[in-house]
Amino acid sequence: MEYIFEKNKLYNYLGTSLVNTLKEHKAYIAGGTITSLFSNNPVNDIDLYFRDEESLSELIEEIYDNSDDWVNALTSKALLVRVDDKEIQMIHFKYFEKAKDIFDTFDYTVCMGAFDFESEQFVLHEDFLKHNAQRILKFNKCTDFPIVSLLRVQKYKDKGYNISKPEFLRVALSCMELNITNADELKQHLGGMYGINYDKLIELEEGESFSLSKIIDKIANIALSEDYFEKPKEIKYDNVEEILDVIVKEPARVVKIKDNTYRITKKNVLRETNETPKNKIEIDAKQYIDSQKYYKFVDKRDGQYFSHWDKNYEYKFGTINKPKNEHLYFSEKYEINKSNYFNQGVLIEVVIPFDNFTEKDSDKVLANGCYVVREVSEAEYNEWIN
């Protein structure tokens, strides 16, 4: 079944701009949002999952560039943000090749629903609809955070779900199987992903040894803490690199060109940064620029290539093309769809000598000289976009 009604309801809730962004980055929405859609309840928040680290980091950069004061919380498992007045949790503790792989990390079958923005289809566990209809909780013992699952039982009971004693016992026994040996491991299981802040209330004093017995005593006094009734404080990050330093595990490739520093994404797209990532590999600037190709949509007339902006300016083969004014403007391979003249005329490929490369400004590459290499077929550049 295609579930057209539920899909339209989801798209209407998200809005066209956010839907297009999630399609571009091939994200998944999974968990409570899908449960709410199929049980006709209000959607309260959105959990986003990703195929890989690069998709997540590029989405974070895109939203960060277009938002103000949008980060609510950042943990080792998730980034909680606000976009268009919607609470969105971007999960980064794992990545998933297929939507159904997400279900292995979930605790109950009633939340094992997902929407894949690449295929634009719902993916549901075989018992998702049945157990939601029956309002019963069936536990997945392979879930990553069984302690949180135990805490969530009350949340589901408040929504009218029931759990049998054997199922509840399975949750409790799964918690007993955890081998927690230090405070950081315990915090992983207690806090962050579902907005639970017990992890901040069980801090050990300097030099204090860890034991679960000691933590149990500390939790007994949680209600006496000054923080108990306070909402988590929203966090303002001065630049996106602070966020990516927490989320991105692989070293960032960084290149300094003229007076600007850029981070190179896995798609070889330059992203200007004001603060150099802590975990980085520095790339030789000349070697990088000399190895790249750049692109521009132009008007082809009688086998000649002319600028859309200046109808009399011709891009010629076999000679360096210099601007009439200060700059020529190009796009990087995976940003040609952001060109002002996208799909108008034909696409040419150029090389820019290092000395002629000026800067990358937003999604435009500025240069004071280039050599035309070839005309790119429409079929080829459509593959890049898709």
The full 3-state SS of the chain, as one line of letters, equals: CCCHHHHHHHHHHHCHHHHHHHHHCCCEEECHHHHHHHCCCCCCCEEEECCCHHHHHHHHHHHHHCCCCCEEEECCCEEEEEECCEEEEEECCCCCCCHHHHHHHCCEHHHCEEEECCCCEEEECCCHHHHHHHCECCECCCCCCHHHHHHHHHHHHHCCCECCHHHHHHHHHHHHCCCCCCHHHHHHHHCCCCCCCHHHHCCCCCCCCCCHHHHHHHHHCHHHCCCCCCCCCCCCCCCHHHHHHHHCCCCEEEEEECCEEEEECCCCCEEECCCCCCCEEEECHHHHHHCCCEEEEEEEECCEEECCCCCCCEECCCCCECCCCCCEEEECHHHHHHCCCCCCCEEEEEECCHHHEEEEECCEEEECCEEEEEEECHHHHHHHHC
Q: How does pLDDT run along the chain (386 residues), one tens digit per residue?
A: 689 999 999 999 999 989 999 998 999 999 999 999 999 888 888 999 999 988 998 888 877 766 655 666 787 788 888 887 888 999 998 999 999 999 999 999 999 999 999 999 999 999 999 999 999 999 999 888 898 899 889 989 999 999 999 999 999 999 999 888 888 788 778 764 444 455 555 677 777 888 888 877 777 766 566 655 565 556 666 677 778 878 888 888 999 998 899 988 877 889 888 777 788 899 999 999 999 999 999 999 999 999 999 999 999 999 999 999 899 999 999 899 989 899 999 999 999 999 999 999 989 999 999 999 999 999 999 998 87
User: Of 205, 152, 153, 214, which is closest to residue 180 (Cα–Cα)?
Assistant: 214
Q: What is the pTM of this model?
A: 0.73
Structural domains in the chain plus CATH codes: 4-224 (3.30.460.10), 247-285 (no CATH), 288-385 (no CATH)
